[in-house]
Protein backbone atom coordinates (compact mmCIF):
# COMPACT_ATOMS: atom_id res chain seq x y z
CA UNK A 1 0.00 0.00 0.00
CA UNK A 2 1.38 3.40 -0.97
CA UNK A 3 1.60 6.15 1.62
CA UNK A 4 -0.35 9.36 1.09
CA UNK A 5 1.51 12.62 1.44
CA UNK A 6 -0.38 15.12 3.57
CA UNK A 7 0.43 18.81 3.31
CA UNK A 8 1.37 21.04 6.23
CA UNK A 9 -1.97 22.91 6.28
CA UNK A 10 -3.94 19.66 6.39
CA UNK A 11 -1.83 18.39 9.28
CA UNK A 12 -2.39 21.65 11.19
CA UNK A 13 -6.17 21.36 10.68
CA UNK A 14 -6.16 17.83 12.13
CA UNK A 15 -4.15 18.92 15.19
CA UNK A 16 -6.26 22.08 15.71
CA UNK A 17 -9.45 20.04 15.44
CA UNK A 18 -8.25 17.69 18.19
CA UNK A 19 -6.95 20.54 20.36
CA UNK A 20 -10.31 22.36 20.10
CA UNK A 21 -12.05 19.32 21.59
CA UNK A 22 -13.78 18.06 18.45
CA UNK A 23 -13.47 14.51 19.72
CA UNK A 24 -11.03 11.73 20.48
CA UNK A 25 -8.04 11.03 18.30
CA UNK A 26 -9.98 8.21 16.63
CA UNK A 27 -12.98 10.46 15.92
CA UNK A 28 -10.83 13.29 14.54
CA UNK A 29 -8.88 10.80 12.43
CA UNK A 30 -12.16 9.42 11.03
CA UNK A 31 -13.41 12.96 10.28
CA UNK A 32 -10.28 13.71 8.26
CA UNK A 33 -9.97 10.21 6.78
CA UNK A 34 -6.50 9.48 8.21
CA UNK A 35 -5.39 6.64 10.43
CA UNK A 36 -5.54 7.22 14.19
CA UNK A 37 -1.83 6.37 14.36
CA UNK A 38 -1.02 9.16 11.90
CA UNK A 39 -3.22 11.67 13.72
CA UNK A 40 -1.66 10.69 17.06
CA UNK A 41 1.85 11.14 15.63
CA UNK A 42 1.01 14.65 14.38
CA UNK A 43 -0.57 15.61 17.71
CA UNK A 44 2.45 14.30 19.60
CA UNK A 45 4.86 16.19 17.32
CA UNK A 46 2.83 19.37 17.86
CA UNK A 47 2.88 18.94 21.66
CA UNK A 48 6.63 18.26 21.62
CA UNK A 49 7.21 21.50 19.69
CA UNK A 50 8.33 19.69 16.53
CA UNK A 51 7.39 20.88 13.08
CA UNK A 52 4.44 19.24 11.35
CA UNK A 53 6.27 19.67 8.06
CA UNK A 54 6.51 16.34 6.21
CA UNK A 55 9.84 14.72 6.97
CA UNK A 56 12.39 14.23 4.25
CA UNK A 57 13.01 10.51 3.78
CA UNK A 58 16.49 9.40 4.68
CA UNK A 59 18.50 6.55 3.29
CA UNK A 60 17.90 3.45 5.30
CA UNK A 61 20.34 0.72 6.08
CA UNK A 62 24.08 0.88 6.09
CA UNK A 63 26.33 2.71 3.69
CA UNK A 64 27.23 0.66 0.63
CA UNK A 65 30.70 -0.87 0.70
CA UNK A 66 31.15 -0.04 -2.96
CA UNK A 67 30.20 3.63 -2.89
CA UNK A 68 30.75 6.47 -5.34
CA UNK A 69 34.51 6.59 -4.81
CA UNK A 70 34.89 2.83 -5.29
CA UNK A 71 32.70 2.90 -8.40
CA UNK A 72 34.96 5.56 -9.89
CA UNK A 73 37.91 3.21 -9.26
CA UNK A 74 36.04 0.34 -10.93
CA UNK A 75 35.16 2.43 -13.98
CA UNK A 76 38.81 3.47 -14.25
CA UNK A 77 40.07 -0.13 -13.90
CA UNK A 78 37.62 -1.50 -16.47
CA UNK A 79 38.38 1.36 -18.88
CA UNK A 80 42.06 0.46 -18.78
CA UNK A 81 41.51 -3.31 -18.84
CA UNK A 82 37.97 -4.38 -19.80
CA UNK A 83 38.64 -8.10 -19.36
CA UNK A 84 39.35 -8.02 -15.61
CA UNK A 85 38.06 -10.96 -13.63
CA UNK A 86 35.98 -10.26 -10.53
CA UNK A 87 38.65 -11.79 -8.32
CA UNK A 88 41.20 -9.35 -9.77
CA UNK A 89 38.93 -6.44 -8.88
CA UNK A 90 38.46 -7.90 -5.38
CA UNK A 91 42.27 -7.97 -5.04
CA UNK A 92 42.54 -4.36 -6.25
CA UNK A 93 39.99 -3.30 -3.64
CA UNK A 94 41.86 -5.27 -0.96
CA UNK A 95 45.06 -3.42 -1.90
CA UNK A 96 43.18 -0.16 -1.22
CA UNK A 97 41.87 -1.49 2.11
CA UNK A 98 38.28 -2.17 0.99
CA UNK A 99 36.94 -5.65 1.69
CA UNK A 100 34.46 -6.75 -1.00
CA UNK A 101 33.24 -10.02 -2.49
CA UNK A 102 33.01 -11.08 -6.11
CA UNK A 103 29.21 -10.84 -5.95
CA UNK A 104 29.48 -7.24 -4.72
CA UNK A 105 31.76 -6.44 -7.64
CA UNK A 106 29.30 -8.11 -10.01
CA UNK A 107 26.35 -6.05 -8.70
CA UNK A 108 28.35 -2.81 -8.85
CA UNK A 109 29.45 -3.62 -12.38
CA UNK A 110 25.83 -4.14 -13.42
CA UNK A 111 24.87 -0.84 -11.77
CA UNK A 112 27.61 0.92 -13.72
CA UNK A 113 26.44 -0.87 -16.89
CA UNK A 114 29.94 -2.02 -17.68
CA UNK A 115 30.05 -4.88 -20.14
CA UNK A 116 32.33 -7.82 -19.63
CA UNK A 117 34.55 -7.94 -22.69
CA UNK A 118 36.73 -10.99 -22.76
CA UNK A 119 39.69 -11.50 -25.04
CA UNK A 120 39.32 -14.11 -27.72
CA UNK A 121 41.54 -17.06 -26.93
CA UNK A 122 42.40 -17.58 -30.59
CA UNK A 123 42.79 -15.00 -33.33
CA UNK A 124 40.14 -14.82 -36.03
CA UNK A 125 40.58 -16.99 -39.04
CA UNK A 126 42.09 -15.27 -42.05
CA UNK A 127 39.71 -17.07 -44.39
CA UNK A 128 36.51 -15.17 -45.06
CA UNK A 129 33.30 -16.72 -43.81
CA UNK A 130 30.48 -17.49 -46.23
pLDDT on residue 121:
64
Domain count within the chain: 2
Contact, 39 vs 14, CB < 8 A? yes
15: nearest Cα among 41, 3, 126: 41
Q: Are residues 76 and 43 in the same domain?
A: no
pLDDT at 1 over 60: no
Is 105 within the bounds of a domain? yes
Segment among 27-31, 99-103, 107-111, 124-128 with least mean pLDDT? 124-128
Domain assignment of residue 96, given as a range: 68-111
Is 40 within the bounds of a domain? yes
pLDDT on residue 30:
95
39: nearest Cα among 52, 54, 53, 28: 28
Is 54 within the bounds of a domain? no
Q: pLDDT tens digits, residue range 92-122? A: 999 999 999 999 999 999 999 887 666 666 6
Measured in degrees and rounded to the nearest 5, phi and psi for residue 3 equal -85, 140
Is 62 within the bounds of a domain? no
Is 74 within the bounds of a domain? yes
Which residues are CB-contacts of 4 (< 8 A; sequence separation ≥ 6)? none
Contact, 18 vs 9, CB < 8 A? no
Is 85 within the bounds of a domain? yes
Q: Are residues 74 and 104 in the same domain?
A: yes
pTM (predicted TM-score): 0.47
Within 13 Å and on the Cβ side, how many CA atoms surround 77? 20
Q: Are residues 106 and 77 in the same domain?
A: yes
pLDDT on residue 114:
83
Is 119 within the bounds of a domain? no
Is 58 within the bounds of a domain? no
Q: pLDDT tens digits, residue range 54-77? A: 887 776 778 888 999 999 999 999
Amino acid sequence: MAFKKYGLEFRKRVVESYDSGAGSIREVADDFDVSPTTAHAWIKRSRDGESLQPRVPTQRGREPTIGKRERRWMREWYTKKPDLYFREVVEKFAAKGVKVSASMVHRAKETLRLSRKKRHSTPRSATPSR
